[in-house]
């Protein structure tokens, strides 16, 4: 293998992935790689991707064994196939790269591929989405960078610098990062086109990979994520609270979606009220303020439209933090999501039982990092609204998904 030229090694990697001799789902990555260029660019010290193509430093790649080179190439392909460049949005580049690596590296290794020195791994994050990991690590990386800057300038950090064992992921990998993200230069309409292009590549690769072997589990998960992102969560909540049978129709308030999307004046359903609604809100540290604001904004709009007899909101992390009750017609004002600790849901269900709350329908807003789901169905309908598009469905009740842009 040492006698092969670097370009020949790249060709062999393409062939081996497409062949997928051991039926490990490598054919999918080979098909995705066939649509990406591998370009020499020695301004990079190692390897990188902009989300469309792969760039490499010749000296670095020639220093790697064939198996490590193969692993690095698959790592870069995964960034595009999992749409990491599209999903980054306004997130910090350094922390986002670390989050993506912590999410995808264990999957690459489990697929029988090898990665070179400096690979970021943390068993705590195995199976987590990049977004969920980012929410946890971003504050720590920011704090670490500030300490480094203070140390470089000679400023005091109260003797905390260097104390205690620090996680390896405070610094990004030296290889395999998203650099010069193509999405940074795209307009909103062009960004949608890029996302649609990657989706089409994924669906084509899945169809072809099925004929050659298996489709990687994480890609099946990615397809589920794309489907879940299209769900109208507010519509799901409305049907959950009110049911599918309307009481009447009225033109006193026109249907907003029909009007703005199709320029059609259509009636809305006239509701006479929908009983008592109780809402559990996950106030743990892994749920962001932006997610909370989006959910509560949508909940307030639905409350004003559906006119429930009352809305009781219970915020909870590992214990009950606050309880708010809004009567029929009251606007749901900003609530305080105190706590920011771990995630437990049973305190909310226990509170409902202990205080004998009237519940005609129950909604729980969470990132689904839950380990204490109820063991039995509740005596009232339960809907889980998950901010994690990769999460499994709850073992009881119904689950829907909220995509936060």
Under the banding of pLDDT at 50, 70 and 90, the label for residue 245 is very low
Residue 222 within any structural domain of the chain = yes
Judge whether residue 345 has pLDDT over 80: yes
User: 3-class secondary structure for 58-88?
Assistant: HHHHHHCCHHHHHHHHHHHHHHHHCCHHHHC
Strand partners, 361: 277
Same domain for 244 and 175, yes or no, is no
Mean pLDDT check: name the lowest of 83-92, 251-260, 271-280, 309-318.
251-260
Same domain for 213 and 239, yes or no, is no
Same domain for 57 and 118, yes or no, is yes
Judge whether residue 271 has pLDDT over 70: no
Residue 1 within any structural domain of the chain = no
Residue 63 belongs to domain spanning:
6-226
Same domain for 264 and 376, yes or no, is yes
Q: Residue 267 and residue 235: Cα distance in Å, rounded?
A: 16
Choose the final residue of a domain: 190, 211, 226: 226
Mean pLDDT of 111-118: 93
Mean pLDDT of 311-320: 91
Residue 83 within any structural domain of the chain = yes
Q: Quick one: pLDDT at residue 230?
A: 63
CB 361 within 8 A of CB 240: yes
Q: Residue 265 and residue 259: Cα distance in Å, rounded?
A: 6
φ, ψ (nearest 5 deg) of residue 13 = -60, -45
Mean pLDDT check: name the lowest of 107-111, 299-303, 321-325.
299-303
Of the two residues 365 and 255, the one the predictor is more confident about is 365
Same domain for 289 and 200, yes or no, is no
Same domain for 178 and 316, yes or no, is no
Instruction: Please tell me the number of Cα atoms within 13 Å of 162 on its side-chain side.
Output: 6
Judge whether residue 219 has pLDDT over 90: no
Other CB atoms within 10 Å distance of the CB of residue 353: 11
Same domain for 238 and 221, yes or no, is no
Mean pLDDT of 383-397: 88
Domain with residue 255: its CATH number is 3.40.50
Of the two residues 381 and 342, the one the predictor is more confident about is 381
Q: Quick one: pLDDT at residue 225?
A: 66
Same domain for 217 and 240, yes or no, is no
Exposed, middle or buried: residue 88 (CB in 10 Å: 0-12, 13-18, 19+)? buried
Of the two residues 290 and 148, the one the predictor is more confident about is 148
Under the banding of pLDDT at 50, 70 and 90, the label for residue 259 is confident
Residues contacting residue 247 through CB under 8 Å, at least 6 positions apart: 269, 270, 271, 272
CB 234 within 8 A of CB 301: yes
Nearest to 225 by CA among 31, 91, 404, 71: 404
Residue 137 within any structural domain of the chain = yes
Q: Quick one: pLDDT at residue 228?
A: 65
Judge whether residue 69 has pLDDT over 70: yes
Residue 357 within any structural domain of the chain = yes
Same domain for 140 and 155, yes or no, is yes
Mean pLDDT check: name the lowest of 78-87, 250-259, 389-398.
250-259
Residue 396 within any structural domain of the chain = yes
Judge whether residue 338 has pLDDT over 80: no
Same domain for 95 and 123, yes or no, is yes
Same domain for 99 and 153, yes or no, is yes
Under the banding of pLDDT at 50, 70 and 90, the label for residue 227 is low
The Cα-based distances of 130 to 27, 91, 382, 401 in angstroms read: 24, 11, 28, 17
Same domain for 347 and 275, yes or no, is yes
Residue 184 within any structural domain of the chain = yes
Q: Quick one: pLDDT at residue 194?
A: 92
Q: Give the chain's domain count.
A: 2
Choose the final residue of a domain: 226, 260, 291: 226
Residue 81 within any structural domain of the chain = yes
* 90-111 pLDDT tens trace: 999 999 999 999 999 999 998 8
Of the two residues 28 and 296, the one the predictor is more confident about is 28
* 180-195 pLDDT tens trace: 999 999 998 999 899 8
Choose the final residue of a domain: 194, 226, 258: 226
* 150-189 pLDDT tens trace: 877 766 555 444 455 788 899 889 999 999 999 999 998 9
Whole-number average pLDDT of the chain: 85
Percent of the chain with pLDDT over 70: 86
């Amino acid at each position: 293998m040492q006698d092969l030229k670097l370009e020949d090694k790249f060709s062999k990697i393409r062939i081996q992935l497409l062949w997928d001799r051991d039926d490990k789902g490598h054919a999918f990555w080979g098909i995705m790689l066939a649509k990406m260029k591998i370009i020499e660019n020695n301004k990079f010290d190692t390897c990188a991707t902009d989300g469309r193509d792969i760039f490499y430093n010749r000296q670095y790649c020639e220093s790697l064994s064939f198996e490590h080179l193969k692993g690095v190439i698959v790592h870069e392909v995964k960034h595009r196939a999992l749409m990491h460049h599209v999903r980054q949005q306004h997130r910090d580049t350094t922390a986002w790269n670390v989050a993506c690596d912590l999410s995808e590296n264990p999957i690459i290794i489990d697929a029988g591929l090898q990665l070179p020195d400096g690979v970021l791994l943390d068993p705590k994050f195995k199976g987590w989405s990049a977004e969920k990991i980012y929410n946890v690590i971003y504050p720590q990386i920011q704090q670490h960078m500030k300490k480094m800057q203070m140390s470089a300038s000679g400023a005091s950090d109260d003797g905390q610098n260097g104390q205690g064992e620090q996680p390896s992921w405070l610094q990004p990998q030296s290889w395999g990062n998203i650099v010069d993200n193509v999405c940074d230069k795209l307009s909103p309409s062009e960004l949608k086109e890029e996302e649609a292009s990657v989706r089409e590549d994924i669906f084509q690769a899945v169809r072809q990979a099925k004929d050659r072997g298996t489709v990687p589990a994480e890609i099946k998960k990615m397809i589920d994520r794309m489907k879940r992102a299209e769900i109208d969560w507010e519509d799901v909540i409305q049907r959950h609270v009110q049911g599918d049978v309307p009481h009447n129709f009225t033109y006193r308030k026109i249907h907003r979606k029909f009007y703005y999307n199709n320029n059609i004046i259509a009636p809305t359903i006239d509701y006479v009220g929908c009983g008592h609604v109780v809402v559990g809100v996950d106030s743990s540290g892994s749920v962001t303020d932006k997610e909370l604001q989006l959910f509560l904004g949508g909940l307030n709009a639905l409350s004003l439209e559906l006119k429930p007899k009352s809305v009781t909101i219970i915020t909870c992390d590992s214990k009950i933090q606050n309880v708010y009750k809004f009567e029929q017609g009251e606007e749901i004002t900003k609530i305080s999501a105190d706590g920011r600790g771990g995630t437990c849901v049973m305190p909310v269900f226990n509170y409902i039982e202990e205080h004998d709350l009237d519940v005609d329908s129950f909604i729980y807003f969470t990132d689904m990092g839950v380990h204490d789901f109820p063991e039995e169905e509740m005596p009232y309908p339960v809907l889980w609204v998950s901010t994690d598009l990769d999460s499994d469905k709850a073992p009881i009740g119904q689950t829907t998904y909220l995509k936060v842009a």
